[in-house]
Amino acid sequence: MRDTQEAVLAEMRRWGYRYVVTPTLERLDVLALGLDADVRRRLFKLMDADGSVLALVGERTVPVARLVAGSLRAAPLPMRLCYAGPVLTNDPGRFTRRREAYQVGAELVGASGPVADAEVIALAVRCLDAAGLRRYQVDVGHSEFFLGLLDGLALPADVKPGVRAALAQRDFVALEALLAATPLRSAEHELLLHFPALRGDAGILEAAGALVRNRRSERALEELARVHELLRAHGLGSSVSLDLGAIRDFDYYTGVIFEGYGPEVGRPLAQGGRYDGLLACFGRPAPATGFMIHLDLMGEVLRRSGVGRELTRLDAAVAWSSVGLSAALGLAGSLRMFGMRAVVDTEARRLAGALEWREALGAAHLLHVGGGRTVSWSPAAAPARIQRLPAEQVVARLAERGG
């Protein structure tokens, strides 16, 4: 999982995102500024010595927002930030089957509009690539499309949260039960039942436009059309589709939202979207959008697909005979100075034993140091081909190859 995390963070840095560290433990009243009551209910809580209630974070967007409005308040916007860390929940089915999960994410703060939305979605897709995933689907929707529909329906105020929750979970049995007790006309009833099926390519936008009669939903469709156009400019085609039935369970989302799915997994590997109102809760109003990746789920998918990232790659296994330890330590130190990963054996071995040791480690090269001035060098690509060269020449050649 660590290699996957580093690969994803490296991709984020290539896009100009700066790594920040946010706390795992926050005051509950601080988290309450950005999380609704149902999300707060799922948090682990404890009492501080001064009587205040603390909570272990269940997501990291709110802590990042607090950081931007606090310690980074003087920093100019837009700001590109990325992070990694654990999140905890009292609802273990929410992440994997455990109460603790690990996430890596990115936030673009201070930029509004489709260009920023498309950047974040494109970055999320490239992060899935960087993690080693080869088959995935990213569904892009808009939170305002559903809210516009909801505004125009004759639903009692106390029923709307239940309808939203049922649609978010795609629980059509619960949805039918809720709608049966409302005064909705049959056309409105059917619209809500078919709402989750509004997904596909750009053609779905025209079809959805024929169903709505409110400006809020129409604006959402216009923004999605522009984002979809920009995603094509980013080079993203078949991996991205539109899902107007997508509903997120965090109240702070205000615009374009998206989820990324891998093969044979019913939960999203990546989730994100626009949350323009959250920063104002911490005293620094600013538009923002971002996403996070569930590393635990990603690891499961990669292991099942057989394309998981390798363990830490070793460039060189440095073995030594009974009189070669000091020279071996010096040789490994030289290799590391050139950015290569080198392991020195902890016991003396003859060359034949060293070759077996290197194979067990999976190192790219074996360097065996004896009592003379030369080093025996065997590359993994041709283990039977052993060259004997001065140590400085071996270092120079490996450095030229990049390990």
DSSP of 5-20: HHHHHHHHHHTTPEE-
Higher model confidence: residue 329 or residue 384?
Answer: 329
Reduced to 3 states (helix: H, G, I; strand: E, B; else coil), residue 84 is strand
Average pLDDT, the chain: 86
Higher model confidence: residue 263 or residue 216?
Answer: 216
Higher model confidence: residue 377 or residue 193?
Answer: 377
Neighbours of 53 (CB within 10 A): 14
Rounded alpha-carbon distances, angstroms, from residue 69 to 56, 73, 252, 287: 20, 5, 16, 12
Q: Identify the band that residue 189 occupies on the pLDDT scale cut at 50, 70 and 90.
A: low
Higher model confidence: residue 91 or residue 26?
Answer: 26
Least confident stretch, 75-89, 162-176, 267-281, 301-315: 301-315
Higher model confidence: residue 250 or residue 331?
Answer: 331
Evaluate if residue 93 carries a pLDDT over 60: no
Q: Identify the band that residue 307 occupies on the pLDDT scale cut at 50, 70 and 90.
A: low
Least confident stretch, 242-251, 282-291, 361-370: 242-251
Least confident stretch, 139-148, 203-212, 368-377: 203-212
pLDDT at 175: 76
**Measured torsion, CA atoms of residues 335, 339, 345, 348, in degrees rounded to the nearest 10:** 0
CA 299 to CA 279: how far, in whole Å? 32
Evaluate if residue 300 carries a pLDDT over 80: yes
Task: Give span(s): CATH 3.30.930.10, the chain.
Answer: 2-305
pLDDT at 369: 94
DSSP of 176-229: HHHHHTS---HHHHHHHHHGGG-EESTHHHHHHHTT--SHHHHHHHHHHHHHHH
Evaluate if residue 94 carries a pLDDT over 80: no
Evaluate if residue 376 carries a pLDDT over 90: yes
pLDDT at 185: 64
Q: Are 306 and 334 in contact (CB under 8 A)?
A: no
Q: Does the 2-305 domain belong in CATH 3.40.50.970?
A: no
The rounded percent of the chain whose pLDDT value lies above 70 is: 91
Evaluate if residue 237 carries a pLDDT over 80: no
Residues 68-75, mean pLDDT to the nearest whole number: 95
Higher model confidence: residue 147 or residue 338?
Answer: 338
CA 336 to CA 316: how far, in whole Å? 10
Neighbours of 41 (CB within 10 A): 11
Going by C-beta distance under 8 Å and a sequence separation of 6 or more, which residues neighbour residue 128? 136, 138, 260, 262, 269, 270, 293
Evaluate if residue 92 carries a pLDDT over 60: no
Residue type, 237: G
Q: DSSP letter at 391? A: H
Evaluate if residue 264 carries a pLDDT over 90: no
pLDDT at 186: 65
We find that the CATH architecture of domain 316-401 is 3-Layer(aba) Sandwich (3.40)
pLDDT at 145: 86
Give pLDDT tens digits for 115-174.
999 999 999 999 999 998 888 999 999 988 888 877 777 677 777 777 777 777 777 787
Evaluate if residue 50 carries a pLDDT over 70: yes
Residues 222-251, mean pLDDT to the nearest whole number: 84
Least confident stretch, 35-39, 240-244, 318-322: 35-39
